Amino acid sequence: MSRYEPSLTEPKWQAAWDAAHVFRAHHDPQRPKYYVLEMFPYPSGRIHMGHVRNYTMGDVVARYKSSCGFSVLHPMGWDAFGMPAENAAMERGGHPKEWTYGNIADMRAQMKPLGLSIDWSREFATCDPEYYGQQQAMFIDMMEKGLVYRKAAVVNWDPVDMTVLANEQVIDGKGWRSGAPVERRELTQWFFRISDYAEDLLEALDGLKDWPEKVRLMQANWIGKSRGLQFAFETVGAPAGHERLEVYTTRPDTLLGASFAAIAPDHPLAKALEATNPAVAAFIAECRKGGTSEEAIETAEKIGFDTGIRVKHPLDPTWELPVWIANFILMDYGTGAIFGCPAHDQRDLDFARKYGLAVTDCFLPAEGGEPVGKTAFVPMKSERVRWLKAYAWPELATGEEAIAAAIAHAEAKGYGRGVTNFRLRDWGISRQRYWGCPIPVIHCATCGVVAERKENLPVRLPDDVTFDQPGNPLDRHPTWRDCTCPTCGAKARRETDTMDTFVDSSWYYARFTAPRAATPTDAAECDYWMNVDQYIGGVEHAILHLLYSRFFARAMHATGHLPAKAIEPFNALFTQGMVTHEIYMTRDAQGRPVYHLPEEVENGALKATGQTVDIIPSAKMSKSKKNVVDPVSIVTTFGADTARWFILSDSPPERDVEWTASGAEAAFKHLSRVWRLAYEVDTRGAGDATQDMALLKAMHRTIADVTAGIEGFAFNKAVAALYAFANAVQKSDASAGAKRQAMLTMAQLMSPMTPHLAEDIWAMLGGAGLVAQAAWPKADPAMLVEDSVTLPIQINGKRRAEITVPKTMPQAEVEKLVLADETVVKVLAGGTPKKLIVVPGRIVNVVI
RNA sequence: GCCCGCGUGGUGGAACGGUAGACACAGGGGACUUAAAAUCCCUAGCCGCACGGCGUGCCGGUUCAAAUCCGGCCGCGGGCACCA
């Protein structure tokens, strides 16, 4: 073989790695372990470049750590439950189970040629009964610990299809299939008590030093701890039982600017009025239109209804405020009731202007300032302002000071108390769908809601279900619901809700440490392998998946399934950027968007029909938008190493990368060149031993740069250093021995990124064994030292000249040289500089 | 609407507050070849013949020195609890 031929060598090396069980994770107490995990994929059926990017990054880390002497765990599995399988069954027939396992087989077959260093012996899918049965066992344990409960919660209801919709299935307030306006409807649902852990989940963020700051910030904001005042208004004209209206406010300092009280449409008082007052009922029905997402609620037009009820102001019982029902008040936050201070809250101001309610300024800027007009005055709470409506603090005070004083005042006078609130709500896990983990609970007429016996687990999904109509197939299955009560033995009915798929992905990392254990986890294996040392995945999971996992690890610890050290399961987190691509869209007869895969499109039109497509600028690659690129064709054309090299080049890992086809060929060319450099080690050039030192210095420089690049998750910089090193080898006329040494090191440094090519070169140049098992090279510090340094000379911050001086030259000597420099002499024209700044080894700035 | 990011040549990007544009892609020129492919060499931010000037989304500030720090805008992206 005289040229780079990945189609021949890549399968060969993959077979060699398999035969030697190179990637099998060993519980070896003699060695330090390293657990690297990439967020496992949903088995859509096709891998895309986002997967390639994610798994290649993880693979670089896994292979690098392995060569540094760690016992590495690098597993792979499938996040296999979820809606797409049911949608496929509805659209194309077939069964979610067959669809899912077929997709898994396809995707595994697409992933294997990438040459990832994965321990495939630990593979599992969350839809395996062996997995979800253990999840059911933990659910039962958590029930016993009081971490699970039921309550009413709102869902998106499609009144035509008579089914619950996911937020994703609500488009512009309408059902995606029926097109009918969606309503908010209450159902009894299962919840995890994540809010019990709100404080802990917030405080523990500080300890996650190796998580991106932005993720910790997002989680902190999501948990949303706030300090405020809770107090009760005395009502006038309210139905019996509603003599008091509890409200929560984070701005009690604006109490004298109150102009109305507002309650959520789901507030008990609103419901009481709804029952007797048709006008209220009509208004609330209006509020229930549209989806349940916070986005839908926040962006909907703000509407209100004056109930006619009034409340007495706590600071002045003669002052009465009207009580409105408003669609932007959330029942889930605080008490579901607020008072509005329009002058200092934009939303309240818009509402007040719309309905002609009073606007009273509480404070103005410390200097000057005018009464509020169209824009509410909302300064930072730390800003000092001039108070017009202070009632327990000085005229000049910050918001923070005023809030503290207002709470103290309320507590002293006894009309309210300081309260800490969280935005975080309990985690609703009920799904009225088939393809999920059944909630292992039985409804008995006499015993109530009872957990299934553990020996009856897993509660398996029935296979004989149909998807010819909307709704939950478990609900309409003829026999599956029938069972006997575990407590009294009477006839009973099984719970037909299944679990949110976020539950499945909240503990898979722990299961990988003992994937075949007969209990959810195995203590010894957990103890050795936990925590995940490096977790890698998309930023889109920054809040929900990661927060749920952090909660679940705590719940698993509380139920004895994880050691205390694992309550924060991910030591380090890296959030990769997304792979983006253009989106191709047409519209169907109803004007709804239809998306098309890149390979279905040619020259701006559908290949099949010639219909013109709209090209929407690059966005995240997603199944629903179908803007996915198929890596398989890249691999078959150029080989896995080219795909891997390309995806690591150029773009920093945390940033989005737009996929362009043009780069793949260039990557292939470079790998071919490197192969050729190794092949021609003995034959290329005359060989001049006086150049050896320069080449070896470049080699050590590269070792240092590549190591730093990998350690610092800057793979693009590691790649750049390897490009530079290839250039250096190519230009060098060093002796054959030095070049051989350089290329062996090149193979080692490239092996985490292009493992097959590295084995090619390693074998060609007589390296011992597999490069995959060779120890990582170390840079010799002595070889990194430069004797002289070039200093740019700035004059007033602009670069005008430079001098080259010995690295060790004392500062005074450097200054002397600078002042003697031709350019500097000319500019100074006999005068002396105002200032001379010498940053050793860096720069000189002459200020004149 | 709310929370969080990002913005540097034609393109992807590099740059402990210290020479802006490393390393690449695309481009231009050349060598080799009957020719092409492949490969190799040179070139290259923008304006200008040049001296030089201008340049990191926009405006302002801090500093001897700002892509980097601070304030205010604009644009793009992610998340918003039932997409995964």
Structure confidence by residue, pLDDT tens digits, A754-764: 999 999 999 99
Nucleotide with C1' nearest the A841 CA: B18
Nucleotide with C1' nearest the A431 CA: B82
What residues have CB less than 8 Å from A571, skipping those under 6 apart? A210, A531, A532, A533, A534
Nucleotide with C1' nearest the A846 CA: B64
Could you tell me the distance in Å between the CA of residue A705 and the C1' of nucleotide B30? 34
Rounded Cα distance between A545 and A570, Å, is 12
Could you tell me the distance in Å between the CA of residue A200 and the C1' of nucleotide B8? 41
Mind listing the pLDDT tens digit for each residue in A364-405? 888 777 788 778 888 878 788 889 999 999 998 888 889 999
Rounded Cα distance between A186 and A150, Å, is 12
Rounded Cα distance between A827 and A795, Å, is 9
Could you tell me the distance in Å between the CA of residue A346 and the C1' of nucleotide B57? 29
Could you tell me the distance in Å between the CA of residue A287 and the C1' of nucleotide B38? 69
pLDDT of the residue at A599:
62
Nucleotide with C1' nearest the A83 CA: B83
Question: A162: left (phi > 0), else alpha (psi -120 to 50), else beta?
Answer: left
What residues have CB less than 8 Å from A515, skipping those under 6 apart? A75, A77, A122, A123, A124
The chain-wide mean pLDDT, for chain A, equals 91
Six token digits for residue A41 = 């994929």
Helix (H, G, I), strand (E, B) or coil at A311: strand
Could you tell me the distance in Å between the CA of residue A685 and the C1' of nucleotide B37? 25
Could you tell me the distance in Å between the CA of residue A247 and the C1' of nucleotide B71? 36
Is the model's pTM score more than 0.80? yes
pLDDT of the residue at A618:
61
- Calculate what percentage of chain A has a pLDDT beyond 90: 70
pLDDT of the residue at A801:
84
Six token digits for residue A102 = 């077929």
Distances (CA, A) of A754 to A1, A294, A638, A666: 19, 45, 12, 15
Rounded Cα distance between A126 and A43, Å, is 11
pLDDT of the residue at A662:
72
pLDDT of the residue at A712:
92
Strand B, nucleotides covered by protein (CB < 7 Å): 1-6, 11-16, 18-20, 22-26, 38-41, 53, 64-66, 76-84
Six token digits for residue A264 = 């959520």
Helix (H, G, I), strand (E, B) or coil at A87: helix
Mind listing the pLDDT tens digit for each residue in A730-780? 999 999 999 999 999 999 999 999 999 999 999 999 999 999 999 999 999
Of A284-293, A465-474, A583-592, A803-812, give the lowest mean pLDDT range: A583-592
A210 compared with A577, residue with greater pLDDT: A210
Question: Nearest protein residue to B6's C1' (by CA)?
Answer: A655
Six token digits for residue A303 = 């509407």
Mind listing the pLDDT tens digit for each residue in A225-262? 999 999 999 999 999 999 999 999 999 999 999 999 99
Q: Using the predicted structure, report yes or no on whether residue A320 has a pLDDT greater than 80.
A: yes
Map tokens 């609330």 to a residue.
A284
Is the Cα dihedral A115, A121, A122, A124 positive or negative? positive
Rounded Cα distance between A467 and A474, Å, is 11
Distances (CA, A) of A374 to A338, A339, A387, A568: 22, 20, 20, 47
Could you tell me the distance in Å between the CA of residue A200 and the C1' of nucleotide B67? 38
Could you tell me the distance in Å between the CA of residue A834 and the C1' of nucleotide B62? 20
pLDDT of the residue at A615:
60
Mind listing the pLDDT tens digit for each residue in A154-202? 999 999 999 999 999 998 889 998 999 999 999 999 999 999 999 999 9
Six token digits for residue A34 = 């390293």
Could you tell me the distance in Å between the CA of residue A304 and the C1' of nucleotide B77? 34
Helix (H, G, I), strand (E, B) or coil at A760: helix
Rounded Cα distance between A842 and A792, Å, is 8
Alpha carbons within 13 A on the beta-carbon side of A413: 14
Could you tell me the distance in Å between the CA of residue A709 and the C1' of nucleotide B67? 21
Question: Nearest protein residue to B65's C1' (by CA)?
Answer: A797
pLDDT of the residue at A619:
63
pLDDT of the residue at A661:
67
pLDDT of the residue at A11:
96
Could you tell me the distance in Å between the CA of residue A739 and the C1' of nucleotide B31? 26
Mind listing the pLDDT tens digit for each residue in A556-600? 999 999 999 999 999 999 999 877 766 666 767 776 667 777 666
Could you tell me the distance in Å between the CA of residue A36 and the C1' of nucleotide B83? 26
Nucleotide with C1' nearest the A823 CA: B51
Rounded Cα distance between A755 and A753, Å, is 6
Query: What is the secondary structure of A495-533 as a DSSP string?
Result: ---EE-HHHHTTSHHHHTTSTT-SSS--HHHHHHH-SBS
Nucleotide with C1' nearest the A195 CA: B81
Question: Nearest protein residue to B39's C1' (by CA)?
Answer: A673
Question: Nearest protein residue to B7's C1' (by CA)?
Answer: A655
Q: Using the predicted structure, report yes or no on whether residue A805 has a pLDDT greater than 90.
A: no
Nucleotide with C1' nearest the A658 CA: B12
Mind listing the pLDDT tens digit for each residue in A678-708? 999 888 877 888 999 999 999 999 999 999 9
pLDDT of the residue at A614:
64
Nucleotide with C1' nearest the A844 CA: B18
What residues have CB less than 8 Å from A336, skipping those under 6 apart? A263, A264, A266, A267, A329, A330
**In which band, very low, low, confident or very high, does the pLDDT at A622 lie, cut at 50, 70 and 90?**
low
Alpha carbons within 13 A on the beta-carbon side of A748: 27
Q: What is the ipTM of this complex?
A: 0.94
pLDDT of the residue at A834:
85
**In which band, very low, low, confident or very high, does the pLDDT at A655 lie, cut at 50, 70 and 90?**
confident
Nucleotide with C1' nearest the A796 CA: B64
Q: Which amino acid is at A420?
A: T
